[in-house]
Amino acid sequence: MTSPVRARAPNGSARLAAVGRDPDVLAAFLEDAAHFPGGHADGVIVATSEADVAAALRSTRAILPIGAQSSLTGGATPMGETILTTSRLNRIEAIGDDWVRVQAGVTLAELDTALAAAGKYYPPVPTFMGAFVGGTVATNAAGAATFKYGTTREWVRALTIVLPNGDVLDIERGPTRASRALEIAASDRTIRVPVPRYRMPNVPKCSAGYFAAPDMDLIDLFIGSEGTLGIVTAVTLRVLPVRPAQCLAFVPFADRRAALTLVRALRESADLPVSAIEHMDARCLALLREDGIDRLQGVPIPAAAAMALLVTLELSPETTAERAYDEIGRARESSAPDTPLVRFCRALDRAGVLDDVEVAVPGDAARAAQLLAVREAVPAAVNARVGRAKQQIDPRIAKTAADMIVPFDRFEDLLAFYDEEFERRGLDAAVWGHISDGNVHPNVIPRSMADVESGKEAILAFGREVIRMGGSPLAEHGVGRNPVKQQLLRELYGDEGIEQMRRVKRAIDPKWKLSPGVLFSRDGQA
């Protein structure tokens, strides 16, 4: 075991920021994107410095740190705690050759704009660009480009974290590693954190409780801990020093098996610069047509489409729109240049779908925005229907969805299992996600509270099958307060695995001050 990492006092003057208790102000913070029911809060603190965060932790009984509240697990819905929002911790502090230092409340959109101005790129972002950087670290967020670039974890170089006792940790990746226990020298005691012994699934994404691995790095304990061990105030991220040119292709298929065959070919080809493949099933496409998104964005969706793919290619930064259009137009010619874009078009032609493809070439930001808007409109359509059902049918209705990943050679089996289970239960459901990773999101579209209950049972069945296949039932959204996801965490690691996580929590947060009820219940509670 390496020597303990030493905590420090917070920078700046220690003062308790005002606790807002105006009901109209609090109302905006009582529900996250999961529509998790029952949200209520003691008050809200708007932190503007790490000293504010430290003072809040030292003087408050229970705190729920939140970012953009884009959580899909209820993890950013308060249950009586004082809310601490990082929205004012929003400075981009420095940009280096291959790194950037930002405060936790910077949004991914703001980060991308700043990096684009410097010609740099941060690839492992989730779909929602309004998410805060601190929130993506807290959940080890992943997204479409995980296929090529991995999850947030692989891109975090350093963290500044405020511990539950108000001390501050500055952690860099590398120096502090251990197999049995990690030590933190705090102002009031030496914290000895036992390293969990459970084995995590060997899949590209896993956001399932506390990270554990032989000779693990202390920084990885906090990444993905969902705000239960400390509050992230600043992050140093690795970035790419050169920003690639992106080309997007929306590819509808009348046959799902044909779509999966193309996905397999794109994944396995070393000659095609594919960074992401998204997919939307037939129900997703029907929702888009119901809401008029196809007409609004000018993206035709054939009525017979059984699946659509959204493929991202990364091309040379010098690729112009004119050159891309020329290559696409000549792809069927034997004399066409042997370029990545030509090879991609020929793969589409072999699949019989080249003439139906909608393309956004490099530099066509407007068309790219339209294609991305179609993809983002799918979860928005489902969430809107969940929200309406909650208002109009039953206030107990909540988002009922899964976030699961399997090794790709089992992916088609998983889709078939989803189909069978939803059909057997008579549930209306839509499935979309990151098909290049084998990670998709089956979502129930509830027509009653009975649909929600049946959907929860279906998700538990999905999770058990995913575990049996060697995957993770909790891929990228985390666990949060969702009782089904918490049960899936238990199914994955067993009662002893949950107890090992509780030992970590007790060591760092013995008063159970941070995000109580997130990941698992407090000691002594069911």
Query: Taking a C-beta distance cutoff of 8 angstroms, is the pair 149, 82 a contact?
Result: no
Question: According to the model, what pLDDT value does residue 36 have?
Answer: 83
Neighbours of 46 (CB within 10 A): 18
At residue 190, what are phi and psi to the nearest 5 degrees?
A: -95, 120
* Angle in degrees, CA 248, 251, 255, rounded to 5: 160
Instruction: Find how far residue 500's CA is from the centre of its chain.
Output: 24
Structural domain contains residue 68: no
Alpha-carbon distance values, 494 to 198, 200, 223, 349, 501 (Å):
9, 12, 22, 48, 11
Compute and round to an integer the Cα radius of gyration of the chain.
23
d(CA 57, CA 9): 13
Whether 324 is covered by a domain: the verdict is yes
Report yes or no on 176 lying in a domain. Answer: no
Q: What is the DSSP letter of 365?
A: H
| Backbone φ, ψ for residue 503 (5° rounding) | -65, -40
Residues 354 and 389 in one domain: no
Residue 435 lies in a domain: yes
Q: What is the pLDDT of residues 495-521, one digit of tens each?
A: 999 999 999 999 999 999 999 999 998
Structural domain includes residue 158: no
Is 393 in the same domain as 352?
Answer: no
Asked whether the beta carbons of 199 and 136 are under 8 A apart, the reply is: no
Same domain, 325 and 415: no
423: exposed, middle or buried (C-beta count within 10 Å: 0-12, 13-18, 19+)? exposed
Strand blocks (E) in 297-428: 307-315, 358-360, 404-405
Same domain, residue pair 326 and 390: no
The token duo for 176 is: 């502090």
Q: What is the CATH number of the domain that holds 463?
A: 3.30.70.2740
Same domain flag for 347 and 433: no
Taking the C-alpha atoms of residue 69 and residue 183, their distance in angstroms, rounded to an integer, is: 31
- Asked if 354 and 395 sit in the same domain, the reply is no
Helix (H) or strand (E) segment spanning residue 430: strand 429-434
pLDDT at 523: 67
Low-confidence ranges of the chain (pLDDT < 70): 1-2, 14, 523-526
Q: Are residues 304 and 338 in the same domain?
A: yes
Tell which residue, 515, 423, 399, 417, has the closest CA to residue 463: 417
Distances 293 to 154, 378, 387 between C-alpha atoms, Å? 35, 9, 19
H or E element at residue 293: helix 293-297
The per-residue pLDDT for 2 is 65
Question: Tokens 């009820």 label which residue?
Answer: 517
Q: What is the dihedral of CA 79, 498, 522, 25, to 10 degrees?
A: -20
- Same structural domain, 410 and 349: no
Residue type, 120: K
Distance CA 26, CA 518 (A): 20
Interatomic CA distance for residues 223 and 136, integer angstroms? 9
State the pLDDT at residue 310. Answer: 97
Is 14 a member of any domain? no
Distance of CA 179 to the CA centre of its chain: 27
Length of the chain: 526
Backbone angles phi, psi at 284, to 5 degrees: -60, -45
pLDDT per residue over 8-63, tens digit each? 999 987 677 788 999 999 999 998 887 788 899 999 999 999 999 999 999 999 99
| Rounded distance between C-alpha atoms, residue 64 and residue 513, angstroms | 9
**Same domain as 339, residue 296:** yes
Hunting for tokens 């705090």 — which residue is that?
186
Strands (E), 357-405: 358-360, 404-405
- pLDDT score at 524: 56
- Residue 4: the pLDDT is 85
pLDDT at res. 327: 94
Phi, psi (deg, nearest 5) at residue 341: -70, -40
**Are 312 and 347 members of one domain?**
yes
Mark whether 411 and 341 lie in a shared domain: no
Domain identity same for 350 and 389: no
The Cα–Cα gap between 325 and 320 comes to: 9
pLDDT at 14: 67
Range of the domain at 253: 245-316+320-361
Does 265 fall in a domain?
Answer: yes
Residue 90 in any domain: the answer is no
Judge whether 21 and 46 are in contact, CB under 8 Å: no
- Please give the Cα distance from 168 to 161 (Å, whole number): 6
CB 399 within 8 A of CB 455: no
34: closest CA among 78, 64, 65? 78
Q: Looking at the 3D structure of the chain, how many domains does it have? A: 2
Which of 307, 304, 310, 336 lies closest to 323, judged by CA?
Answer: 336
Contact call for residues 283 and 385 (beta carbons, < 8 A) = no
CB atoms within 10 A of CB 311: 28
